[in-house]
């Protein structure tokens, strides 16, 4: 979140909700009147570093598996009676998740204001009806953890701290199940999803020892979901599956507690289309799944709060999740 003086007030000592208690330097750039005078951070910790490289590697692995999965499994021979003649009416699975998390924010000129990276843990479940041509599925999960913040204060002073995340998410889809060949199920789907999370930034200090006050933000979003998947059963014991889709923006909001818990500042977020993908393997009742989820937000409108104006910069979230769960058919 960005904050600058309202009504021409400048250089005022202020405890900013995100990140610092110091003097705000507000200058006019001759090329961009009324905006921050930016200085490039010469040692941006995550800019082009190992964190982004790791995220891109995970994403490429997922997309490669989704794309090549059918080609890999198609030539495998099937013996008579190996694949069951009918699918179970319902499937439920529940398990634990290890999540690689990345959150970044950018100013209008693409300057990277901050990056948050780290590991979260979670638990989730899915329930699916697949026996009929028209089916349904839904799922929900919880997640929490602490990640590293590497970025800047609102006056563009470099700072590091920790960020705590606690949240929940869920979805509900209608599915269309087609079985073009023995063992195969193709599954286009459409539905709704949602996510809510609390983002809590710890107090810290700058390199010069200036105190920096933390901030709490409560986010929630609702989106549409469209996509398609494929499921292949080798036998009664083993199957593989993959899917990919797109989140379609509906509504998102950020309640920022800049002036204390009793007076949150509500900032409406402009969502953008965001991709997701998943692949996995099931053997007997054990299920392993690798997922990629993303969220994209454009720059919000400015909101007045007392003598200051706030807005949420362009932001993006990318998560890669490894999930181990126990599945039951009935």
Local structure of residue 15 (DSSP, 8 states) = E
Q: What is the mean pLDDT of the chain?
A: 82
Query: 314 or 259, which is more confident?
Result: 314
What is the tens place of the pLDDT at every residue in 296-308? 999 999 998 877 7
> How is the chain split into domains, by residue range?
2-24+47-68+85-329
Task: Give domain 2-24+47-68+85-329's CATH superfamily.
Answer: OPCA outer membrane adhesin/invasin (2.40.128.100)
Q: What is the pLDDT of residue 258?
A: 84
As a whole number of angstroms, the distance between CA 36 and CA 45 comes to 22
Burial string for 266-275 (b: 16+ CB within 10 Å, else e) reads ebebebeebb
C-alpha to C-alpha distance for 312 and 45, rounded to whole angstroms: 22
pTM of the model: 0.77
**Residue 128: enclosing H or E segment and its boundaries?**
strand 112-129
Mean pLDDT, to the nearest integer, of 117-125?
Answer: 99
CB 328 within 8 A of CB 92: yes
| Residue 72 DSSP symbol | H
Confidence of residue 219 (pLDDT cuts 50, 70, 90): very high
For 254-282, how does the pLDDT look when each residue is reduced to its tens digit (9 = 90+)?
A: 999 987 777 789 999 999 999 999 999 99
Residue 41 has pLDDT above 70, yes or no: no
Residue 13 above 50 pLDDT?
Answer: no
Residue 56 confidence (pLDDT): 60
Residue 236: predicted pLDDT: 87
* CA dihedral (101, 106, 112, 113) positive or negative: negative
Q: Are 220 and 196 in contact (CB under 8 A)?
A: yes
pLDDT tens-place string over residues 220-248: 999 999 999 999 999 989 999 999 999 99
Cβ 213 vs Cβ 15: under 8 Å: yes
pLDDT at 63: 55
Q: How does DSSP classify residue 313?
A: P
Once rounded to an integer, what is the mean pLDDT over residues 71-92?
A: 57
Predicted confidence at residue 73, as pLDDT, reads 40
Question: Measured between alpha carbons, how far is 161 from 157 in angstroms, rounded to an integer?
Answer: 13
Confidence at residue 128, expressed as pLDDT on a 0 to 100 scale: 96
Cα separation, 275 vs 294, whole angstroms: 6
pLDDT confidence of residue 262: 73
Burial degree of 75 (CB within 10 A; 0-12, 13-18, 19+)? exposed
Q: Residue 296: is it exposed, middle or buried by C-beta count within 10 angstroms (0-12/13-18/19+)? A: middle
Predicted confidence band of residue 61 (pLDDT cuts 50, 70, 90): low
Tokens 């479940």, residue located:
125
3 state SS of 14 = strand
Which of the pair, 273 or 9, is modelled with greater confidence?
Answer: 273
Distances in Å between the Cα of 234 and the Cα atoms of 1, 183, 188, 237 are 50, 7, 21, 8
Q: What are phi and psi of 253, to 5 degrees?
A: -150, 145
Contacts of 43 (CB under 8 A, 6+ apart): none
Give the pLDDT band (50/70/90) at residue 131. confident
The predicted pLDDT at position 305 comes to: 81
Nearest-CA neighbor of 19 among 185, 152, 117, 133?
Answer: 152
Contact 252, 299 (CB under 8 A): no
Question: Rounded mean pLDDT of 42-59?
Answer: 48
Give the C-alpha distances (Å, rounded to integers) separating 74 from 61, 122, 237, 283, 298.
20, 34, 18, 18, 41
Output DSSP code: residue 283: E
pLDDT tens-digit readout, 190-211: 999 999 999 999 999 999 999 9
Query: pLDDT tens, 133-189?
Result: 899 999 999 999 999 999 998 889 999 999 999 999 999 999 999 999 999 999 999
Which one of 5-14, 18-27, 131-140 scores highest in mean pLDDT? 131-140
Check residue 85 and give its pLDDT.
Answer: 52
Give me the half-sphere count of Cα atoms (radius 13 Å) on the Cβ side of residue 273. Answer: 5
Looking at the predicted structure, is the pLDDT value of residue 284 above 80? yes
- DSSP-derived pairing of the beta strands 90-106 and 21-22: unpaired
Model pLDDT, residue 86? 62
**C-alpha distances out from residue 325 to 42, 61, 139, 166, 288, Å:** 44, 21, 13, 21, 7
Residue for token digits 């028209």?
134
């Amino acid at each position: 979140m960005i904050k600058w003086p309202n009504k021409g007030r400048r250089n005022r000592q202020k405890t900013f909700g995100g990140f610092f208690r110091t003097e705000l330097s507000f200058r006019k750039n001759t090329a961009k009147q009324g905006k921050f005078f930016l200085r490039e951070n010469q040692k941006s910790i995550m800019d082009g570093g190992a964190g982004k490289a790791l995220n891109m590697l995970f994403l490429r692995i997922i997309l490669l598996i989704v794309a090549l999965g059918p080609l890999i499994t198609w030539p495998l021979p099937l013996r008579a009676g190996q694949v069951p003649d009918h699918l179970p009416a319902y499937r439920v699975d529940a398990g634990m998740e290890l999540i690689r998390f990345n959150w970044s924010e950018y100013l209008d000129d693409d300057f990277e204001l901050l990056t948050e990276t780290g590991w979260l843990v979670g638990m989730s479940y899915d329930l699916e009806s697949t026996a009929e041509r028209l089916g349904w599925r839904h799922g929900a999960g919880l997640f929490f953890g602490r990640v590293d913040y590497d970025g800047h204060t609102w006056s563009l002073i470099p700072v590091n701290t920790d960020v705590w995340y606690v949240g929940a998410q869920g979805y509900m889809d209608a599915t269309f199940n087609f079985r073009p060949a023995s063992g195969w199920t193709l599954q286009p789907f459409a539905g709704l999803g949602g996510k809510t999370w609390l983002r809590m930034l710890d107090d810290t200090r700058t390199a010069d020892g200036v105190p920096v006050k933390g901030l709490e933000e409560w986010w929630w979003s609702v989106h549409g979901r469209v996509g398609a998947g494929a499921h292949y059963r080798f036998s009664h014991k083993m199957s593989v599956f993959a899917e990919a889709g797109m989140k379609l923006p509906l509504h998102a909001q950020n309640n920022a507690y800049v002036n204390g818990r009793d007076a949150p500042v509500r900032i409406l977020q402009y969502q953008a289309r965001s991709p997701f993908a998943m692949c996995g393997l099931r053997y007997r009742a054990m299920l392993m799944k690798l997922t990629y989820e993303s969220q994209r937000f454009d720059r919000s409108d400015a909101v007045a709060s007392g003598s200051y104006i706030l807005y949420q910069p362009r932001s993006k979230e990318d998560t890669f999740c490894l999930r181990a769960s126990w599945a039951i058919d009935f």
